[in-house]
Amino acid sequence: MYNAKYIHSQDCGSEDRKFRDMLITETELVKPIIKEHFLKEYILGMGDTYEMLRLYCRTFDVDEMMDTRMIIIKPTGAHDFEDFFFIKNNAEQYIGGENILLSTTINDFLFIITTILDKTEIMDLLDKIRKTAKQCYNYNVMAVYSKVSYLSEAPAAYERLKVCMGYSFYSGSDKTLYENDLKVNENSASLRPDYGTVEQAVRRGNTDKVRRQLNRFFDDMEKAMPTPAVAKTYCLELYVCIIRCCETDKIDDYMKGIMYLQDAKTIGEIRNFIEEKGLEITESNTPEKRKVYSALIRDTMRIIDENLRNENLSLRWLAGTILYTNVDYLGKLFKKETGKNFSHYVMEKRMELAKETILEGKYDRIYEIAEKVGYGSNSQYFSQVFKKYTGVSPLEYKEFAKLMREGEKT
């Protein structure tokens, strides 16, 4: 049996020297694995952590009060083990093995403890790692490095950096960040979202107000900077308020957006999605889309339909002789709720009636059609308006209608 004294003795034979050399070589080969194992278990709080750190420091002649920097690196988006292995090797190559006390993967992170303390040097190295990952694998890498910390503070630094990694939710995924520059807020008490005002504006179809309210909501969110999980909770509440205002038959489609928001990686993705859907629903709630009009405008539209054939139909006539209201007020309210001037609206209704009349084929003369749709004896003016509206003259449209009827008979 060999003992340590005999192995290291200069008097041992050639076979003994071979065994000694093999043992030393094997020990050197497994040393990095042992070092990684010790520190990883210390960081994760497995077993007697303090004793583990003392054993590590004694075994590898390391001072637990040594100044270090801790680094967390994480590829964003889909990645597999080979990608992580590449990033780890790449990082070790740039930083240099002699400067690394630990390089290990923990869950979705690569965690590195290095003796390089200069901020500029650390930033340059991490930027190289990110750029190489982008060029070789075409994915982004997020990196956060710590303030100068003792080796014994590694578990606390690791937890802090994990929280800091959440900053990518606000800043984007392709960044190198410094722990002391980040102020991710665990407490969201400063946020007071006004969901009711947003919902009311969406329901009323007020697009300008919805834009203002959504901008305020997301600007406040990015100032307060709560953790991503808390921020998503606020955003989901906002989205639910908005989709409550959509048409009943579309609610199921909009509900699918909840899954998208839960899976979103950045506040920018969430903001774009909610603004798009919010303005889409708001637009569908505008009066001209929903046909939700005031009682006065509903009466006005009903009277127009009943008097399209009346050549005396005008805003002044309708306001003064039937509705007994101020003509200017009625004109402005009509434009606000329908999006069209009174005269333009009447013209469109008359042209649609003229097309229906021609298609029916009950009248052969253009002047008869003009009379039936409120143009009296002014058939020439009717023809001009009809051509401008449809692109063809009444006679051409009449021939088109005749061909259509003949085609239906065959």
Categorize the per-residue pLDDT at 408 as very low, low, confident or very high, splitting at 50, 70 and 90: low
CB 65 within 8 A of CB 153: no
What does the block give as tokens for 65?
């009060």
User: Of 300, 304, 254, 298, which Cα lies nearest the Cα of 277?
Assistant: 254
pLDDT of residue 8: 47
User: What whole-number distance in Å separates Cα of residue 379 and Cα of residue 367?
Assistant: 5
- Amino acid 118: pLDDT: 93
Instruction: Provide mean pLDDT across the span 167-187.
Output: 68
The pLDDT score that the predictor gives to residue 13 is 54
> Is the distance from CB of 42 to CB of 53 less than 8 angstroms?
yes
Q: At what angle do helices 228-243 and 207-224 cross, to 10 degrees?
A: 170
Separation between Cα atoms, residue 70 and residue 104, nearest integer Å: 12
Q: Once rounded to an integer, what is the mean pLDDT over residues 305-333?
A: 92
Split at pLDDT 50, 70, 90, the class of 375 is very high
Predicted confidence at residue 4, as pLDDT, reads: 43
Query: What secondary structure letter does DSSP report for 146?
Result: P
Residue 25: pLDDT band with limits 50, 70, 90: low
Would you give the DSSP letter of residue 99? G
Average pLDDT of the residues of the chain: 82
Determine the average pLDDT of the residues in 386-392.
89
pLDDT range class, residue 24, cuts 50, 70, 90 = very low
Dist CA 317 CA 22 (whole Å): 110
- Contact assessment for residue 42 and residue 62, using Cβ atoms and an 8 Å cutoff: no
Q: Which two tokens stand for residue 206?
A: 């007020």
User: Positive or negative CA dihedral for 388, 389, 394, 399?
Assistant: positive
CA distance to 30, 156, 167, 185, 391, per residue, from 161 (Å): 29, 9, 10, 14, 68
Residue 289, pLDDT score:
66
Is residue 56 within 8 Å of 42, Cβ to Cβ? Answer: yes
Query: What pLDDT is attached to residue 1?
Result: 38
pLDDT at 26 over 60: no
Residue with more model confidence, 323 or 175: 323
Q: Round to whole Å and give the CA distance between 394 and 349.
A: 16
- Measured between alpha carbons, how far is residue 254 from residues 206, 243, 274, 397 in Å? 20, 7, 11, 43
Backbone angles phi, psi at 305, to 5 degrees: -60, -35
Residues 309 and 373: their CA atoms lie apart, in Å, by 5
CA distance 21 to 6: 13
Cβ atoms within 10 Å of 393's Cβ, excluding its own: 14
**Who has greater pLDDT, 11 or 396?**
396
Point out which residues pair with 69 in neighbouring strands: 114
Under 8 Å between Cβ of 239 and 261:
yes
**Residue 405, pLDDT above cutoff 60:** yes
Residue 149, H or E segment: strand 149-150
Report the SS3 class of residue 72: strand
Structure tokens at 93: 């190559």
What is the band of 23 on the pLDDT scale with cuts at 50, 70, 90? very low
Residues making up the chain, counted from first to last: 410
- DSSP class of residue 382 equals H
